[in-house]
Each structure stands twice: as C-alpha cells, then as structure tokens.
Chain A
Amino acid sequence: MVLKQISVFLPNQPGVLAKFTKILMDKKINMRAMTVAETTDYGILRIVVDRTEEALGILKEENYLVSVTEVIGVDIPDKPGALHEVAMILGESNVNIEYIYSSTLLTDEAIIVLRVDDNDKAEQILKEKGIKLVESKF
C-alpha cells in the first residue's frame, strides 16, 4: 500500500514548528506520522496527513516549499524481530531503505518522541502545563 507523504522545508529555528502546526490546527488537518531530517540551518519535515491534497494546497498558499513522495507503510506486530524480518526481506532483494520512521496509524493514542536542546527545561515546562510525560521503563 502506497502512502502519500508531504515533505516541507523548515528553517531550523525556535518557533518554526509552532507556526507550522498552528496552520494545520486551524484547518483541522491531522498528522498521522511525522519525522524531521535536520542540518544546522534547516530541516525537511516529513508528514503523512489525513487529507493530503487539501494540506498541500494550504501549505503552498502559506508559502511553504513542499513536495509529495510516495512511501510504503508496513503494518507489523509490536514485538522483537518484527522489523528485522522486513529489513532482511528488503536487503536480500537489494532494495535500499532511504529513511524510516514509526507511528501509530491504527490506534487512538499517539506517542511523540522529541529530541530537544534542553531536556531539563522541556520537562519542567511540560509538567507545569499539565502535559503527561512518558515514564522511562526501557
């Protein structure tokens, strides 16, 4: 099954993601999967949304640089070895994986993983605002 992924050019600066997500929020676009590949100056945000064509139109109007890529979504059980099986199959067929990220397309809850530049500050402020942090069990 082929998924349509939108890629967006974002400068790597504070506030950029807030501005971007506000636009999606205002237009009630929901992201189902997301990742960012970054350099010092910029990042490529990759998202799978629930209404691709509409989202593309909105983002172009807001002057974002966007492109659409067809990607593969794989549904695997949540247990050790599951990803290995997929990786091995592709590797043996000489298919290269350019990039990979995970999400929870099939449940109601989503777990977001953030890599920030100040862990203590982020933890403190999120706790203050009543956001639930994931306790580390692993």
Chain B
Amino acid sequence: MTIYWNKIAETMERDKLEKLQGKKLNNLAQFVYNNVEFYHKKFDELGIKPDDIKNVEDITKLPLTYKTDLRDNYPFNLNAVPMEDIVRIHASSGSTGKPTVVSYTQKDIDDWTELMARTVTAPGITKKDIIQNAYGYGLFTGGLGFHYGAEKVGATVIPISGGNTERQLMLMQDFGSTVITCTPSYALYIAEYAKKLEIDIEKLTIKKAICGAEPWSENLRKTIEEVLQIDAYDIYGLSEIYGPGVSVECEEKNGMHIWEDFFIVEVLDKETYEPVAEGEEGVLAFTTLEKTGIPLLRYISYDMATFTKEKCACGRTCGRMSKVTGRADDMLIVRGINVFPSQIEHALMQIPGVAGYYQIIIDRDIVDSLAVQVELTPDTFSDEMKVLEKFKSTIEAKLYSTLQVKANVELVGPGTLPRSEGKAKHVIDKRTKNV
C-alpha cells in the first residue's frame, strides 16, 4: 500500500496534470515578464507576449536559461521580488570565482518543504523514523533542504551535518537512527568505518538511506545495500531549482519521480537544445512553475538523463527520470560538491608564483580525493623546506576557500606535467564509470 504525502498531486491523471502545467506556465510567463527585467527583454527580443504561452507545448517558444545567465546577473539581478521579500539565500559552486546564488521567498521555502516532504515519504519514510541528516548544513541546499522536509513529515531529525564519522556512528547507535541521508560514497565510508571500529552492522538500526548530490551506479547501490543491510534510494536536485527534492525514487527503485506540478522538465539535445525523441537521453531543462524568488524558464542543468511519462507501479503519475548518466559540461562532483576546473584555474592564478602548469587528479578510495599538481619554478623553489611547505599550504588554503573541498597540493619539478599543442587537458578523473 503506497503512502503518498500529497496523493492528489502525486497521482493526478496525466492530462489533468498537463493542463495544470499549462495554466501555471501561462501565469509564470506573466509573472516573469512583469517582474524580471532579464526575461522581459528576452520576450521582447523574441517578439513573444506572455499570453502566447497557452499550454505546455508552447514552452519551446520560451528562451532557455543558462548558468552563465545567473553568473552575469550575480547575485540578485534575476530575482523577481525585492530583497525584503527574500528570506533565505543559498549558494553553490560557480564556474569562476563567484558562487551560484539562489534567493528564496517564504513561499519558496514553504513549497520546497512540501516537495521535500513528498521526497522523504516516497521511499516509505514516516513520522516514526529517526533521520540522521548527514548532508552539509550551511549555504549548501542539502542540509536544510532535507531538514525542513523531514521535520514536516514529523520524523525525528538529527541535524548532524557531514563529517566526524566516529561521532556519527556513536550517535547512530545511541539514538537508534532508522534513516541516514548522505552522499552514496559517504554511506559506503560509514560502513567501512564501522567495520574498522568493529561495530556489528547487524546491530545498527538504519533501514534506509536517501543518497544523492553525486552520480552513483546500480553497482554501488547494490554494494551499499549489501554492506549496510539497508535499502538505498536515489534523489536528485540542483540549487537553482530549490535544491534536493526535484525528484526521488519511490519504493519501486525504478526511476526518480519528478514533481511535475512544480516543474516542467524537458529533455534536450546537448548540442542543439532541440527536444529529443521520447525515451532518448538528453540534457535536462527545468522550468519552475511556483518559484517567486528566482523563477527560471527552461534552465539547462547540464545533467544528462532519460525521462518517461509512463505510470509507475507505485501509482504515481508524475514522470520518472533515470539516474544521471553524465554531464554536458566539464563540471565535476567531488565528495558531493560541484567543482569546475575553471574555478581551480582561477584560484591558482591568483597565487604569486604559480606558473600556469598544473594538473588536477581526482580519484576515489571509497571517498573522493582531489589532488592538484603544481610545477615549481626557479622563482618558487627554495632551499628551505619550510618555505616550500608554506607555498604548498597557501595554495591548499586558497583552493579550500574557493572550492569548499579539501585539495591536496603536490609540488612537482619543472617539465613534469604534460605540455599539449592545443587545449591543455588539466583534469584526470581516475574514477571509473562503475562508481
């Protein structure tokens, strides 16, 4: 017997749902035309008026929105309301020195809470559960996103955030946590750590995990489920579109339900941005039907996936996306955090003495590691170890401050790193597809 958080919304008949989407899209077109200068100009340039958008199919008349548009309008120029109506700000990685900033009105927070309540409920979690929320609290959307949803459902929420694994395991046992929310690689890391501490996994009370913020394969899911003896569910989201809670797996574990009364999802060709044939893989674009802080039209996520409108065995009619199969840009995810190679370059070039020869190596031994090799020059080499070590730690500090991920800097001799004729290949991602 499926438990829904919002049965009416989640099991709405398909044509009724699409009619509702069309109505909301028309409202959205009006709203952004009247309140967001960026979109007003775009509409005028394209020669369209809000009332031209009458139904869902008309969405292709609307302009696409890119991450660079947020960057160019940093931090608040895409907002549809004045600052005094913004009650929260979240930020995630941007491709240069500035983060991607998302502003929320009270309505946005309430709507996001509703979405997260559905998201927590879909894998069969209820108010009887004790949820250990190991996603990072702060500017990242993961921590607070899950927190509000889990609290809304009435579960007992432990806002433990990430890290300090020994303490996580201690409290997990002391509090009797039944659910953990974290990245998939952290779930595996906890299992390994428990083994190291000789904790009997059988005795752990965890029954379910909701894992996201980084891509993970069916293989990794099987491993997590076997090792921790739980059910592990996939969740998807992006900060620009609230955060986590755009889609989640139900107990069928057969695709992630996108809450289509809140979003119109399109699957577009990654080169031409034309809609692909139904069932084909493409880059996902999202239109936010209810957001008022920073509403977005056809926002290109750069996440590749497939999408189906087929009704699910759970009874939900809102369509399902596949696991994310790849990226259409060069963004990497390291320990659940977005990292752009251009961010690393930007940070390195600000340090005097970094000549320009560097290489980024990403690897995984349960958790991701990020190493940056930097070539020394006659100017930066010193006889004294403490000078070299200070140079290394200066670079590491700058990278941490920019990326919010710890990077290990390795100083190497001149000429060590490959030179290329054309565009330098700065990133070596040693993680295989099977992670």
Spell out A's residues near B (CB within 8 Å): 5, 7, 9-11, 37, 39, 41-42, 44, 46, 63-67, 69, 98
Which residues of B lie under 8 Å from residue A44 when comparing CB positions?
A: 383, 385, 388
A-B pair count, CB < 8 Å, reads 40
**Chain A contact residues: helix, strand, loop or mixed:** strand
Min CB distance, A84 to chain B, in Å?
25
Which residues of B lie under 8 Å from residue A64 when comparing CB positions?
A: 413
* A37 to B382 alpha-carbon distance, docked (Å): 12
Min CB distance, B163 to chain A, in Å?
23
Which residues of A lie under 8 Å from residue B179 when comparing CB positions?
A: none
Interface pair B412/A42, CB less than 8 Å apart: yes
Which residues of B lie under 8 Å from residue A11 when comparing CB positions?
A: 412-413, 416
Min CB distance, A11 to chain B, in Å?
6
* A63 to B381 alpha-carbon distance, docked (Å): 13
Is B279 in the interface zone, CB < 8 Å from A?
no
* A62 to B376 alpha-carbon distance, docked (Å): 15
Which residues of A lie under 8 Å from residue B413 when comparing CB positions?
A: 9-11, 42, 63-65
B377-390 interface code vs A (CB 8 A; 1 in, 0 out): 11001111100110
Residues of chain B in range 221-263 having any CB-CB distance to chain A below 8 Å: none
Which residues of B lie under 8 Å from residue A65 when comparing CB positions?
A: 376-378, 381, 413-414
Interface pair A39/B389, CB less than 8 Å apart: yes
Which residues of A lie under 8 Å from residue B377 when comparing CB positions?
A: 65
Contact partner of A46 (CB less than 8 A), chosen from B381, B383, B388, B411, is: B383
The 8 closest A-B pairs by CB, nearest first: A7-B383, A65-B381, A69-B383, A41-B410, A37-B385, A67-B383, A9-B413, A63-B415
30 contacts between A and B (CB under 8 A): A5-B383, A7-B383, A9-B376, A9-B381, A10-B413, A11-B413, A11-B416, A37-B385, A39-B385, A41-B410, A41-B411, A41-B412, A42-B388, A42-B411, A42-B413, A44-B383, A44-B385, A44-B388, A46-B383, A63-B414, A64-B413, A65-B377, A65-B378, A65-B381, A65-B413, A65-B414, A66-B381, A67-B378, A67-B382, A69-B383
